[in-house]
Chains A and B, each alone.
Chain A
Amino acid sequence: MSKLNNLVLKFPRTVIALSLLITVIMLTFVPSVQFEPDVKKMIPDDFPAVRNLDILDSIFGGSEIIVVAVESESIFTPAGLKKFASLETLLGDVVGVERVISLYSAKEITGGAGILLIENLMDEVPETLEGINSLKETVAKSDLVYESMVSKDFDALAFFLRLGATSEVNDKALRDEILGIIELYNGPENIYLAGLPITRAGIVETMQSDMKSFMPYGILLMIFLLALSFRSWMGVFLPLSVVIMSIIWTLGLMSMLGIKFTMISILIPVMLIAVANDYGIHIIAHYFENFKRKKFTEKDANIRETIASLNKPIFLAGITTIVGLMSLLGHFLPPAKELGLLAGFGVFVAFTLSLTFIPAALKNLRIPPWIAHGGQDHRFNRFLQGCGRFFVRFKRTVMVVAVAGVIIAGLKIPTLRIDTDPIHYYREGSEIRVNNERISEDFGGSSQLSIIVTGDIKEPATLRRMKEISLFLEQQPAITRTLSIVDQVELLNEAWHDGDPAFRAIPEDKIAMGDTVISGRSQVAQLLQFLDEEDVEQLVQMEENTITFETEFVRAQIIARINRISSAEILELNQKVDEFIETNYSKAEVSPVTGSASIMGTLTDLIARGQLRSLAISLVLVFLVTSLVFRSFQAGLYCVFPLGGAVILVFGFMAYFGIELNTATSMLTSILIGVGIDYTIHFLWHYRQFVRKGMDGQEAVIQTLTTSGKGIIFNAFSVMVGFIILMVSGFLPIFFFGFVIIFSIGMCLIGALALLPALVVWTKPRFIFGEAKSES
């Protein structure tokens, strides 16, 4: 380390120029960073839910739907229905939309005496009130239309837009085109638009607007905080330069690795604004303090002493922060891994630049005149001394209060909820949420689960299997309705038998027709011939038999529409359905549940498990690193103890305020441990130094608080101020992340400056006092 310091002080201009050169090179990569709003991309590609969704997309040509709903009391009138008659055609022409289904194109199956008629449910819009009433009666009888395309009260119509394979659709262009069409129908009716592609388009826009606010306002806040803390240009400019350079290097690396911004990774610049100035702040504070205490009058000597006394704690704090952040590599979610990698890299850059760029710059800059003249901040010192005395005197009380707080918070943790629904990224009352809620109320939701059944679909046995699954799904309260080829077969069979409701069933395996017996499969095949290919292509996969030239149905999907429920409930539903499938069918017959809603359920599971795993990894790694550096497992425990308490308090705090664990807040603990460990290390390191110099426990606490304690407080406040900017986010998870991280850093600060002094004075650990005794 001293060789590096010598090199930096020998070539300060080269170090500065080199830092700027790398920054400029990295800056050239930054503009090509892209945004990724897809919730599916949050889950590893090899997870069953994603794999099955890809299979589903490739077989049935896209599993996503957009719902356009028109709501008005006068919608079911001749004028109302006429107004929106052309909407289906216009929506069908939108690029990316494969098919539109609505009342205007809904089919009605009728027949009898060996004739089947499949006609439009509404050929023309009725002109009279009687006609409208008759249409209402027909709609009410149709399972496929009532409460699906027409609301229960006949005051809303829905247009379902089925999209092509997900990868081919540009969400924003799609949404803008649909909005353009809707604009043409602007009138007294309320028009709602919902669906995952619409949500994704909104997410990209919110991410872009967040990025535009986070970095500039975060930097501005940091300028004010550093200006007030150091009251010197140097104290602002140098840590800020390190922050800006580390952000540029990190974003440059992000672009080079092809990593896109997700709702999680938009946190990276803010995290670096908050955390990356840590090391610079400690160096500048120490450098200024040396001048103020008239320890040095020469720049060079001061820089050497500052770096010599800080390089170890800074190195240790940097390593533990990197380890804490990198523990996210153990998370299950790819964006969390990316965040860990990139934030870890950013912190590495920051602490490297703090030990190279800042000393090099200090060597080339003038000493601020008022600092060169000395002068101490007595009021602040007196405050810190008072705090030190208080925590030492009431050490037992401090410990009891802390332990009681942790226990109370811990008891609340079981009520902590997990939520991954992208709709909940937005505040209540926001347009995107209102649209989804209205559509869910009227038409049973805009997200769906799918199950793929493999086999000869025309075989009654296979259809019965599908029917069993559908019935099981319909028993689940969250599922509003199911749709499969079975519904069509039953309707056709009923119509074939003169509309006799007794025949609204799957044909038997063998059917006697006079003297002859025909197979149920032949009967089903005959019935299905009446359907157009486009009516069934979403529900079955067709293949031509090269021997018989018959169109075979080799796979079919059962679609279940889901009402608005929490993602934890979706996970429960996923597990229940999967268990049912596993118990009753082989994997070759029925695949596990998939679909857009299933992705949310899987995500919920991964967040919970990933949270525990990254938390455990970060605590163990921090324990090992600190044990190694202090050469004592006891020291490792003393470092981890306040952090463990802070983690429990944070989870309890979240549970108490109803803040859910989601994709953003699940990153909290690793960041908390990575950042919070710095305070503990700085305190213990300097405390041990003062004890080694022969001070008693209380005196060492006061000395530590008035020297490194200042740096710790400045640093904690700069981190909190850095994260405050997250509270302007358009995303609720990010807003709450900002709120909770500020609380958690506050807890870490209290842990390091109140709990730790009380603990070390009370317990007199060997790794601090034992060595002092042996030395003396």
Chain B
Amino acid sequence: MNLNRLRTDRDYLFSVIIGAVTAVIAGIMIWNGLTWLWNWFSVAGGESSEWLAIWEFCKTNLSILIVIYGLMSLQASGLAELKYGKNFLKAFGLALILTPPVMMVVYGHKKE
């Protein structure tokens, strides 16, 4: 955080304050979500094998996992496009096929 800028730039100041409040609320929500997930996993894992519980969880929430993967690929390809000047569509396609980290390694970082 730039303290000097906080004093001079009102936009920066307001956004930092609002951002901090947002982060606190989001933090609480993420914590609650992780606690729920942990509890669910403990109960489900207790009934059968842990791997089976994870597999069941993935099967039940496949659509959500797929969209999270899609969003991660989108963000990675955005980074490749805006930071390294790469072709967005190519980066996005590679991220979807190879996973985002592999795309960043093989395509995302290279300078042309």
- Which residues of A are in contact with B by a Cβ distance under 8 Å? 10-14, 16-18, 20-21, 24-25, 27-28, 212-213, 215-217, 219-220, 223, 227-228, 231-234, 236-237, 365-366, 368-370
Interface string of B2-34 (1 = CB under 8 A from A): 000000001110110011011001100100000
CB distance from A217 to the nearest CB of B (A): 6
B81-A233 in contact (CB<8A): yes
B48: CB under 8 A from chain A?
no
Contacts of B61 in A (CB 8 A): 212
B45: CB under 8 A from chain A?
no
A24-B15 in contact (CB<8A): no
CB within 8 Å of A: which of B42-88?
A: 61, 63-64, 66-67, 70-71, 74-75, 77-78, 81-82, 85, 87-88
A232-B25 in contact (CB<8A): no
Contacts of B74 in A (CB 8 A): 223, 227, 233, 236-237
B63-A216 in contact (CB<8A): yes
CB distance from B4 to the nearest CB of A (A): 16
A17-B77 in contact (CB<8A): no
Query: Once bound together, how far apart are the Cα atoms of A220 and B78, in whole Å?
Result: 16
A366-B29 in contact (CB<8A): no
CB distance from A227 to the nearest CB of B (A): 6
Contacts of B15 in A (CB 8 A): 11, 13-14, 16-17
The majority secondary structure among interface residues of chain A is: helix
A212-B11 in contact (CB<8A): no
Neighbour of A233 across the interface among B12, B19, B78, CB < 8 A: B78
Give 21 pairs: A residue, B residue, CB < 8 Å, sorted on A: A11-B10, A11-B11, A13-B14, A14-B15, A17-B14, A17-B15, A21-B18, A21-B25, A24-B22, A25-B25, A216-B64, A219-B71, A220-B66, A227-B89, A228-B89, A233-B78, A236-B78, A237-B75, A237-B78, A365-B82, A368-B82
Contacts of A366 in B (CB 8 A): 82
B88-A12 in contact (CB<8A): no
Query: Once bound together, how far apart are the Cα atoms of A18 and B20, in whole Å?
Result: 11
Given contacts A217-B67, A220-B66, 15 further A-B pairs with CB under 8 A are A13-B15, A14-B18, A17-B19, A25-B25, A28-B29, A215-B67, A217-B63, A219-B70, A223-B70, A227-B88, A227-B92, A233-B82, A365-B82, A368-B82, A369-B85
Contacts of A232 in B (CB 8 A): 81, 88
A219-B67 in contact (CB<8A): yes
Contact of A11 with B18 at beta-carbon distance under 8 Å, contacts A213-B63, A223-B74 already known: no
Contacts of A217 in B (CB 8 A): 63, 66-67
Contacts of B67 in A (CB 8 A): 215-217, 219-220
Contacts of B64 in A (CB 8 A): 212, 216
Query: Once bound together, how far apart are the Cα atoms of A13 and B2, in whole Å?
Result: 14
Query: Once bound together, how far apart are the Cα atoms of A237 and B87, in whole Å?
Result: 16
Query: Once bound together, how far apart are the Cα atoms of A212 and B65, in whole Å?
Result: 11
Residue of A at shortest CB range from B22? A21
Contact of A24 with B29 at beta-carbon distance under 8 Å, contacts A13-B15, A368-B88 already known: yes
Query: Once bound together, how far apart are the Cα atoms of A164 and B5, in whole Å?
Result: 68
CB distance from A748 to the nearest CB of B (A): 28
Contacts of A17 in B (CB 8 A): 14-15, 18-19, 22
Query: Once bound together, how far apart are the Cα atoms of A369 and B10, in whole Å?
Result: 30
B81-A368 in contact (CB<8A): yes
Residue of A at shortest CB range from B90? A231
Residue of B at shortest CB range from A27? B29
Contact of A21 with B82 at beta-carbon distance under 8 Å, contacts A10-B11, A213-B63, A216-B66 already known: no
Query: Once bound together, how far apart are the Cα atoms of A516 and B89, in whole Å?
Result: 101
Query: Once bound together, how far apart are the Cα atoms of A233 and B88, in whole Å?
Result: 7
Contacts of A237 in B (CB 8 A): 74-75, 78
Contacts of A27 in B (CB 8 A): 29
Contacts of A10 in B (CB 8 A): 11
Contacts of B70 in A (CB 8 A): 219-220, 223
Q: Which 3 A-B pairs have the closest CB atoms?
A: A233-B78, A13-B15, A216-B67
Contact of A24 with B25 at beta-carbon distance under 8 Å, contacts A212-B64, A217-B67, A236-B74 already known: yes
Contacts of B26 in A (CB 8 A): 24
Residue of A at shortest CB range from B27? A24
CB distance from A254 to the nearest CB of B (A): 18
Contacts of B25 in A (CB 8 A): 21, 24-25, 28
CB distance from A215 to the nearest CB of B (A): 8
B19-A20 in contact (CB<8A): yes
Contacts of B77 in A (CB 8 A): 233
Query: Once bound together, how far apart are the Cα atoms of A715 and B87, in whole Å?
Result: 23
Contacts of B89 in A (CB 8 A): 227-228, 231
Contacts of A16 in B (CB 8 A): 15
Contacts of A219 in B (CB 8 A): 67, 70-71
B18-A231 in contact (CB<8A): no
Query: Once bound together, how far apart are the Cα atoms of A147 and B78, in whole Å?
Result: 68
A212-B21 in contact (CB<8A): no
CB distance from B32 to the nearest CB of A (A): 9
Residue of B at shortest CB range from A226? B74
Query: Once bound together, how far apart are the Cα atoms of A400 and B31, in whole Å?
Result: 63
Query: Once bound together, how far apart are the Cα atoms of A449 and B77, in whole Å?
Result: 61
Contacts of A13 in B (CB 8 A): 11-12, 14-15
Query: Once bound together, how far apart are the Cα atoms of A212 and B29, in whole Å?
Result: 20
Query: Once bound together, how far apart are the Cα atoms of A192 and B34, in whole Å?
Result: 42
Residue of B at shortest CB range from A236? B74
CB distance from A245 to the nearest CB of B (A): 13
A21-B21 in contact (CB<8A): yes
Query: Once bound together, how far apart are the Cα atoms of A369 and B29, in whole Å?
Result: 37
Query: Once bound together, how far apart are the Cα atoms of A184 and B9, in whole Å?
Result: 73
Query: Once bound together, how far apart are the Cα atoms of A200 and B11, in whole Å?
Result: 52
Contacts of A216 in B (CB 8 A): 63-64, 66-67
